Each structure stands twice: as C-alpha cells, then as structure tokens.
C-alpha cells in the first residue's frame, strides 16, 4: 500500500536531507486537510514522525498529536522517540493504530520482544535504518542515524521473528529525502529473504516508475514523503500505480 508520510518539527511539516536536522526544508501544509483528503481517496494509513521527540524525548509534541488524533478517523502510524510502555499506551489511548519503534529495537531488544507479544504484531512496527557498506552488508544505525551499531538488518529480523514480528519499516539512509530513487536491490533482496514480513520501503521515491519498481520487488508498502509534498505526482497517481501493478 501507499503510506504518505509527514515529519513534524514544532508542529510544522518538514523534510530532512539524509536525517540531518541542519538540512531541513519546511512545507506550508494543512495537515488536517491532507489527512481527510487522503482518507477520502482510499489511503489506509498515514505515517507521522515526531522529529522533536526523536531528537529529545523531553521535547515531544504530545499536544499536537493529541489534536491530530482526536480530529481524524484516518489510521495513524506514529514514531519518534517512543521508548517506554507508557509511551505506547499513551499513543494507543489517543487513537494511534500502529507504533513505530526505532532505536529501542537495538538498545532494548528484550523489552521490544515483550511489546510484540503484549500489543500484537499488527501494532508494533520496527524501524530499521541501514547503511550498505562496501561489502554489501546492511549495517543498522540508530539515534537519528548518528550511531552505527554492530548489528546487521538480517540479524535483527531473525531475532524478532519468533516473537511475531510482522511489520518492518526499512530505510536506506543514503537515499532518504534525496529524491534520487530507492535502493531497489535492497528491497528485492529482503522481500525475497523474509516472505512473511510486511516491509515498508522508505527513502528516495521520486517518480511513479519508482512505485512500480518497488511493487515488483515484493515490498508490501511504500512510505512516500517529499515527493508528495513537492507534488512530483499526486496521491491519486501513486495509488493508481500501486493498484494497477500486480
């Protein structure tokens, strides 16, 4: 499916270039209007990221998300600095449909295993951000892509599979926010290796052909941010591309 994405800083929609807070572009949009428009046009879920919360858990945009979730019937997948059971319970109580867990899936693996069993595999999404090294190894980065870990993408997926892992949002951080096209080889490889995982491809989508190629790779969903914000194509065109490509 097509999953439109909005990254939020201080209540405003932004896009970062390769995760760099100093390389930020602001967009003048009415988020409530966009959510309603997408709902009416057949979109099933929207991805929202609290970039303030991701950077500093004490600076989270809780009031903003309360307002968003209370004024829309659009299912929302939410991420950004969510690290505790209390955080998850709060967002689910506010009306979020899915909760995206990033750095904690590496730093607190046992806790995340419990969350998968506690909340169910349809609620918890693991966000695994990778950089492909010179040996074609998919190295995982955390803390806003600032810290390289000693883990590879496949290792982490294998670790959580017995706990019911179903949704993985995989970003090639060299592509994110660039409009330079996704890493098709990456997504084809992981979709083939883990057929029971619903991968969400994130990073680099710039054209309708990118959507067609990602669908052919076996990916279940595509996160699309900047190209929709900058009207490279419409949501109807993206949706039609995805639906027509079998």
d(CA 147, CA 184): 24
DSSP symbols for 41-107: TT---EEEEEHHHHH-GGG--HHHHHHHHHS--S-EEEESS--SHHHHHHHHHHT-SEEEE-THHHH
Active-site residue, 52 included? no
Supply angle C-alpha 176, 14, 32, rounded to 5: 120
Q: Which of 7, 172, 176, 210 is catalytic?
A: 7
Active-site residue, 7 included? yes
Q: Which of 50, 52, 129, 172 is catalytic?
A: 129
Continuous H helices in the chain: 31-40, 51-55, 62-70, 85-94, 104-107, 109-119, 153-160, 184-193, 208-217, 226-229, 235-244
Nearest CA among 52, 94, 55, 61 for reference residue 76: 94
Q: What is residue 164's three-state secondary structure?
A: coil
Task: Catalogue the active-site residues.
Answer: 7, 129
């Amino acid at each position: 499916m097509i999953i439109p994405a909005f990254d939020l800083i201080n209540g405003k929609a932004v896009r970062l270039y390769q995760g760099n807070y100093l390389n930020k572009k602001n967009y003048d949009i009415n988020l409530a209007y966009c959510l309603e428009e997408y709902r009416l046009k057949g979109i099933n879920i929207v991805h929202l990221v609290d970039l303030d919360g991701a950077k500093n858990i004490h600076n989270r945009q809780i009031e903003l998300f309360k307002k968003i979730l209370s004024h829309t019937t659009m299912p929302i997948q939410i991420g950004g600095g969510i690290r505790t059971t209390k955080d998850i319970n709060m967002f689910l109580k506010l009306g979020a449909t899915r909760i995206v867990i990033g750095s904690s899936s590496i730093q607190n693996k046992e806790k995340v295993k419990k969350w998968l069993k506690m909340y169910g595999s349809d609620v918890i999404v693991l966000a695994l951000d990778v950089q492909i090294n010179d040996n074609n190894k998919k190295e995982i980065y955390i803390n806003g892509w600032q810290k390289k870990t000693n883990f590879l993408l496949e290792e982490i997926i294998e670790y959580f599979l017995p706990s019911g892992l179903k949704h993985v949002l995989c970003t090639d951080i060299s592509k994110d926010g660039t409009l330079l096209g996704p890493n098709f080889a990456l997504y084809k490889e992981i979709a083939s290796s883990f057929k029971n995982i619903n991968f969400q491809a994130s990073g680099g989508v710039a054209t309708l052909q990118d959507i067609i190629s990602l669908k052919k790779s076996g990916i279940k969903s595509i996160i699309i941010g900047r190209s929709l914000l900058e009207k490279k194509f419409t949501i109807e065109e993206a949706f039609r591309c995805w639906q027509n490509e079998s």
